[in-house]
Amino acid sequence: MYDQEDKPKEECGLFGIYGHANAAALIYQGLFTLQHRGQEGAGIVVSDGKEIRSVKGQGLVGDVFSDKSFSSLPGNIGIGHVRYSTTGSTRIQNVQPLVAECVDGIWAVAHNGNLVNASRLRRMYQEAGAIFQTSTDSEVLIHLLADPMYRSRPKRVSRALTELEGSFSFLIMTKNCMMAARDSHGFRPLSIGKIGDAYVFASETCALVQTGAEFVRDVEPGELVIVDDHGMRSHPFSGKHVDNYAHCVFEMVYFARPDSNVFGYNVHMTRMQYGMRLAEEHPVDADIVIAVPDSGNSAALGFSRKSGIPFDYGFIRNHYVGRTFIMPEAESRSKGVDMKLTVLPEVVKGKRVVVVDDSIVRGTTAKRRVQHLRDAGAKEIHVRISCPPTAFPCYYGIDFPTTEELVAGKKDIETIRKFLGADSIGYLSEAGLLSPFKEGKNFCKACFSGKYPTSLEDVTSGKKGLELFSTEHKEKTKRIIN
């Protein structure tokens, strides 16, 4: 029961640049900064205006690319991608950016998010004779772009994007043009920066800082940004009216790096406010506050400051293990968790300890960490979580797709406390979750409330849902043939 990390799995990270002589090297820096968003695979596609070249592979950015890789990627336009597979299994064909040759040239696409109507679009094109090379939802955009119905009409890319439902931030590239787009709900972040005259796009602003780019603005929800020889211009691509945006609040709770500004808010300061609000909502008499590093650090600091209880290091993290929740296989995650954190007995022995973490998904490793604190001599253990109970599946790019996997989907708060073996447990309220934001109604909180901002009529279940659909389709075809 301890074979899975107690965290949600990440989606992906995007980085692109237009108009810089060392495009590939800068994309590498950007992807390295975004490595926390996905560790299964990485890819870079670059154009020199005549040819499009790509290098991609499975593993970390530093493992996939080398000095030799950069020498084989000359050009001043490029896009890059780091991947955790929320749709599609871990195999080289699914590593992005996806590259395809259409009748009017080569297109490259990089995607962060999850398309809830991908199975319907995929079925439509397969029944018309189209051949898919991957099992990712992202590939349906390439088929839309290649479709004569869109290719022969004005605003071709905009018309294709309007067919997509769900969450997406896209970087799209041809040999002499780059485009960036976000879905009309604005689920996933995407920012614009500049290095001199070059334009830069990144999933998080920390990647802009790392590459020396100056932040300009975010790509707006429902906006298509185009950069070419004529400069940068944009227009709304969606005719759908959205009353409120649906920014993923888990970006603020856990996914984004603390030094990023996401959706207009600094991540570290937001998490600090979560911790302070948590201390107000669930006060406790204790001797020390400790964090589950690294994602619980900011909230724990906020809890300490508000409560007046000293902050200390009760867990020591081995940074060379990596973020184990990104490891795709259960056995890999289990081994990583065993090595990831060590309790410091000298800090917790005989103490009443407040343990602050950002979230609990399955509860398995949280239970084990409570036991480790007991074994180290902690007198009392009070668990505090800087978000509400995660009780519902996400269909927009977070890989916890079934209620059965979620401890809060099956247990009430008191049952969770007993399951963990803690003396008390307190979750941040939904009001507390939204309190740092001027427009709290613009955030998606479906994984806490069960209220989804889009239709789920065509959604597939699980990260391998499209592969299962393809298998069923093959069996049906086989029966027809026979």
Catalytic residue positions? 12
Q: Cα(first)–Cα(last) distance of the chain, in Å?
A: 44
Give all strands (DSSP E) within 208-344, no chain letters. Answer: 214-218, 223-228, 231-236, 247-248, 261-262, 265-266, 288-291, 315-317, 341-343
Residues 370 and 380 sit within 8 Å (Cβ to Cβ): no
| Count, residues in the chain | 482
Q: What one-letter code names the amino acid at 3?
A: D
Instruction: Tell me which residue of 427, 409, 421 sits closest to 367, measured CA to CA.
Output: 421
The residue to which tokens 């301890």 are assigned? 2
Instruction: Tell me which residue of 116, 95, 114, 222 sits closest to 168, measured CA to CA.
Output: 114
Which secondary structure element, helix H or strand E, spans residue 112, and what is its range? strand 105-115
Helix, strand, or coil (residue 86): coil
- CA distances 428 to 60, 278, 361, 435, Å, are 34, 6, 15, 11
